[in-house]
Amino acid sequence: MKHKRLFVAIRIHPNEQFLRLYYQLKKALQHDRINWVKEENIHVTLKFIGETPEDRIDDIISAVDDACLDISPFELALEGLGIFGSRYNPRAIWFGIRKEPMLISLAQNVFREMDNIGFEKDRQNFVPHLTIGRVKLLEDKNYFQQTIDKHKPGLIQTIRVEEVLLVESVLQPEGPTYYVLESFIL
């Protein structure tokens, strides 16, 4: 049985301000080994499903479709910058998302519907964020932290969310390639 590496997401189309900050960070941290997320791959993950047998994809499509039923289009405000991991061992760099009740409802619906078909809820709570880079190796941890602190933005971009995607991620040496398997209109 073939498997696909899947996740449920909201695609983000970065605006000029988003890209300016993204490229400033990339340039400032160019001496570190960081796998930056490609512009066209930037997204908010609602649920990472992982390696999934192909014969379960129809069930997943039905579940995500049900999860989107009572959700109307909404606005997301991207703001702030942070890291996952500790100051001593940062693992990822992210842009934050202002608290948005409709996003939380959507995520809870996705977790519930996926749980109903046997894909259990993740252990950690849903923390809305946009990963922009994964830290592999830092030359200077203090410089890295100063750079993150120096670039703390206010509002970066507002996005109107009108669809949710079921995405296949194909891992390749130069980074993942994403294929949209299904789009769910809100």
Task: Dump pLDDT digits (tens) for 1-17.
Answer: 899 999 999 999 999 99
Interstrand relation of 155-161 and 33-36 (parallel, antiparallel or unpaired): unpaired
Nearest-angstrom CA–CA distance, 91 and 173:
19
Closest of 43, 68, 52 to residue 178, by C-alpha: 43
Distance between CA atoms of residues 171 and 151, nearest Å: 30
d(CA 132, CA 141) in angstroms, rounded, equals 18
CB 164 within 8 A of CB 180: no
Q: Name all domains of the chain by residue range, CATH numbers in brackets.
A: 3-185 (3.90.1140.10)
57-105 pLDDT per residue, tens: 999 999 999 999 999 999 999 999 999 998 889 999 999 999 999 999 9
Nearest by Cα to 85 from 126, 145, 33, 169: 145
Closest among 184, 176, 175, 169 to 7, alpha carbons compared? 169
Question: H helices within the chain, ranges in order?
Answer: 16-28, 57-68, 101-116, 141-150
Please report, rounded to a whole number, the percentage of residues in the chain having pLDDT higher than 90. Answer: 87
What pTM did the predictor assign? 0.91
